[in-house]
Each structure stands twice: as C-alpha cells, then as structure tokens.
C-alpha cells in the first residue's frame, strides 16, 4: 500500500526569530549590567536579578512554544474569554489584601516568589478580542456607529480599571493600540476623529485631575529647574546619555546605575544601555525595534492578502503594542516625553511583560507560518 509523502514542516520566519533573539540577548546583557550593584546592595547577591530574569526567560520561551502550537482559529473564537479574564484580573488586583501596592500603585498580584501584572495580560487580551471582533463585525465597524462604539465601551472599562490602580502608561498603550487597530481596519474617518478627540480630551482631564501628573509634566519641560526632586529621574537619565557619547563607557562601567538613576534595570534600562554603549549602541537598539515592528506589520499585510483578516489585525495590534511601548520608554529616557513607568519590551526586567511579549510574538509566528501552508491563497 503506497502512502502519499508527508509534507515537509514549514519553518517559522527566521528574520523575525533573529530580531527577537537579538533583543532578548540585549535585554539579558543590559539587565545584568544595570542591576548588579543594586542587587548586591539589596539582596547581597549581584546576580539576583540576572538569575530571576533567566528563569522568566525560560518561562517565556515555554509559553511561546505552547502558544505557537495553538491555531489562530482558537484565538478567534475565544477572544471574549481572554477579555473577561483580563478584566477579572484587573478587578482582582484592586481588592484590599490581594493586590500588592508599590510606590502608591496597586498593580501586582503576588504568586509566591513571583508577581503577576494584570495590565500586561490586558494588552494581549484587548488585541486578541478586538482582532476577532473586527472580523465578525467588519461591516458594522466600517460603516456604522454601533460597530465603532462597542469596542469603545470595552476600552472604557479596561482603561477605567487601569487608571484606578493607577497605571497611566498601560492606559495610554492600550488606548493607542485599540485606536490604531480600528484605523487600520478601515473605520470611517469622521467617526474615528470624533472619538479620538474625545479620548484626548479625557486624557487631558485625567492629567489635570492629579497633582503628581501635573508635576511630572512640568518637570519634563525643564527637569533642571528642580533636579533633586521632580526632575531627578530625568536629569540622571540625561546625564547617562551624555556620558555615553559616541561609543559608551563600556559594558559594566556605568556610573549612573550606582544608585543615581532609580529603576535602572526596569523603566530606565535604555539610559544605562546608552551610557555603556554610546550613541552607536542606542541607535542599534532603536534599529532592532524598528526592524521588528516593521517585520510584524509586513507579516500582517501578507496575512491580509492571503485571506486571513484576523491574523492581519492581530499582527497589527502586536506591532502597535511594541511600537507604543518602545517609543514611550525611549522617549521618557531621552526627555522626549514626560516621565512614566513603562517597560521596554524584551529588554527591561519584568517577568509578566517578558512572557506576554514572547506569547504575542509566537502568535505572530504561527500566523506567518499558516499563510505559507500549501493551499493558502497568496
């Protein structure tokens, strides 16, 4: 009995894999260098954060491998489940005695030796849900008000919970990603601009409603006016950039990480990287992110041309999340934007962020692979 030859397995996109691998390697090196003195002082172990990051990285790779095996049809049909799970976690973290409060923000759920940050999971859930919604309600989204306002109601619920924590940075990224996905899906420009202007107005009200946000905004315009209080983080970050010059002071030789720059291995890891590798190293990292985001957008466009709108919208959403976070993190570090705590994807220290980013990229890889399967329309 003759058997038909089995089709050769389709390899994942090597360009995307190489870009992700390069960023993960940069992150491991940057975190190890930026955290070594801090970890030695606080934990009597200079490699404390490095070891934890390696553990997070192993979890992230395992989670990504599992997500890669899941067909996109599963995410399409279960998007609302992940959305409700994300909203439930955002509510859970706000309950007294359950969520952990750090520096005035209640954003973390303690899970033994590790912590879960629901806002990171909410970004993934919103992208998956909205990509599926735009496929199911394509005509409504493009031509009718109710198709556009329904996701706005979901966005309002998510951002309200995020602002109660408060997590202003995650709120901006989630809102920007949702608006970007709707725009790329082809909503009416009039509808889009009207709601966007309303959202910007609400954003201004949120900024003006809290004195500490106003202080951050004014400190960003002139951090040297109060370099030891409101402008402390930004001035120390700018000093790091200045010390880096063209080629940096060398890996491990940063001075700003010696208790001058707070959150050196998380929110301001880009500043330490720029100090140690200089303008050339900072430009290389920016180029890696630009290439990664551009590749994901291109894969999304190819998925759309292959007759997979869900895959295309999901790729667009992932690219927007990465672009938004990278732009905000680097903009804050360089003084382009007001100070706001937000991790640099794949580079900053943070287990939940790393795992969610790797899962999102695995989903993109699976979509790209499926577009090249025999029988798909090219």
Residue 8 lies in a domain: no
Map 195-231 to HEC letters. Answer: HHHHHHHHHHHHHHHCHHHHHHHHHHHCHHHCCCCCC
Please tell me the distance from the alpha carbon of residue 287 to that of residue 23, in angstroms, as a whole number. 11
Q: Is the dihedral of CA 343, 125, 61, 63 positive or negative?
A: positive
Q: Return all residues near 219 (Cβ < 8 A) that are at least 6 apart.
A: 225, 226, 230, 231, 234, 338, 339
Please tell me the distance from the alpha carbon of residue 296 to that of residue 318, in angstroms, as a whole number. 8
pLDDT in tens, 150-183: 888 999 999 999 988 888 889 989 999 999 999 8
Residue 217 lies in a domain: yes
pLDDT at 4: 45
Cβ count near 373 (within 10 Å):
10
pLDDT in tens, 265-293: 888 999 999 999 999 999 999 999 999 99
- 72-92 and 145-164 helices, crossing angle to 10°: 40
pLDDT at 8: 57
Cα 361 to the center of its chain, rounded Å: 11
pLDDT at 377: 47
pLDDT at 6: 55
Tell me what the pLDDT averaged over the chain comes to: 88
Tally the domains of the chain. 1
Residue 377 lies in a domain: no
Residue 375 lies in a domain: no
Which of the listed ranges 94-103, 216-225, 252-261, 264-273 does the model predict with the highest average pLDDT? 264-273
> Which backbone phi and psi does 108 adopt, to 5 degrees?
-125, 145
Residue 1 lies in a domain: no
Residue 335 lies in a domain: yes
Q: Give the domain extent around 354.
A: 14-369
pLDDT in tens, 231-243: 788 888 999 999 9
pLDDT in tens, 9-54: 677 889 999 999 999 999 999 999 999 988 888 888 999 999 999 9
Cα 100 to the center of its chain, rounded Å: 21
Residue 173 lies in a domain: yes
Average pLDDT of the segment spanning 56-70: 96
* Predicted TM-score of the model (pTM): 0.92
Cβ count near 7 (within 10 Å):
8
Burial (Cβ within 10 Å: 0-12, 13-18, ≥19) of residue 260: middle
What pLDDT band is residue 96 in, cutting at 50, 70 and 90? confident
Q: What is the DSSP letter of 7?
A: P
Average pLDDT of the segment spanning 343-370: 95
pLDDT at 231: 77
What pLDDT band is residue 1 in, cutting at 50, 70 and 90? very low
Residue 2 lies in a domain: no
Average pLDDT of the segment spanning 48-63: 95
> Which backbone phi and psi does 115 adopt, to 5 degrees?
-130, 150
**Is the Cβ–Cβ distance between 248 and 276 less than 8 Å?**
yes
Greater pLDDT, 210 or 27: 27
Q: Cis omega before residue 69 (within 30°)?
A: no
pLDDT in tens, 106-153: 888 988 778 889 999 999 999 999 999 999 988 888 878 777 888 889
Please tell me the distance from the alpha carbon of residue 122 to that of residue 64, in angstroms, as a whole number. 17
pLDDT in tens, 245-267: 999 999 988 988 887 887 788 88
pLDDT at 360: 98
Stretch (H or E) spanning 233: helix 232-244
């Amino acid at each position: 009995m003759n058997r038909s030859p089995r089709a050769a397995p389709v390899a994942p996109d090597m360009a995307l894999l190489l870009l992700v691998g390069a960023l993960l390697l940069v992150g491991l090196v940057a975190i190890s260098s930026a955290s070594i003195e801090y970890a030695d002082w606080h934990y009597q172990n200079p490699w404390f954060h490095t070891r934890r990051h390696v553990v997070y990285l192993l979890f992230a790779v395992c989670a990504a491998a599992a997500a890669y095996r899941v067909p996109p049809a599963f995410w399409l049909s279960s998007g609302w489940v992940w959305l409700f799970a994300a909203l439930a976690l955002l509510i859970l973290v706000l309950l007294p005695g359950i969520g952990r409060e750090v520096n005035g923000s209640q954003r973390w759920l303690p899970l033994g030796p590790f912590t879960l940050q629901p806002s990171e999971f909410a970004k993934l859930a919103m992208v998956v849900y909205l990509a599926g919604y735009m496929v199911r309600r394509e005509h409504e989204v493009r031509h009718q008000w109710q198709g556009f306002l329904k996701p706005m109601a979901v966005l309002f619920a998510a951002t309200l919970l995020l602002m109660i924590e408060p997590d202003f940075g995650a709120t901006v990224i989630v809102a920007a990603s949702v608006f970007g996905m709707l725009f790329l899906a082809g909503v009416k420009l009039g509808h889009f601009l009207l709601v966007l202007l309303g959202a910007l107005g609400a954003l201004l009200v949120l900024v003006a409603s809290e004195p500490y946000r106003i202080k951050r905004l004014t400190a960003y315009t002139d951090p040297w006016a109060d370099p030891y209080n409101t402008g402390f983080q930004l001035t120390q970050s700018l000093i790091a950039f200045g010390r880096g010059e063209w080629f940096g002071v060398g890996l491990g030789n940063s001075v700003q990480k010696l208790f001058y720059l707070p959150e050196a291995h998380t929110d301001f890891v880009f500043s330490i990287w720029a100090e140690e590798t200089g303008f050339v190293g900072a430009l290389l990292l920016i180029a890696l992110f630009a290439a990664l985001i551009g590749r994901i957008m291109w894969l999304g466009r190819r998925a759309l041309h292959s007759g997979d709108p869900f895959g295309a919208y999901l790729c667009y959403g992932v690219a927007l999340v990465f672009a938004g976070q990278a732009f905000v993190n680097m903009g804050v570090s360089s003084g382009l934007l007001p100070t706001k705590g937000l991790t640099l994807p794949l580079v900053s220290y943070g287990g939940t962020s790393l795992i969610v980013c790797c899962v999102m990229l695995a989903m993109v890889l699976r979509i790209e692979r499926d577009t090249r399967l025999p029988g798909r329309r090219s």
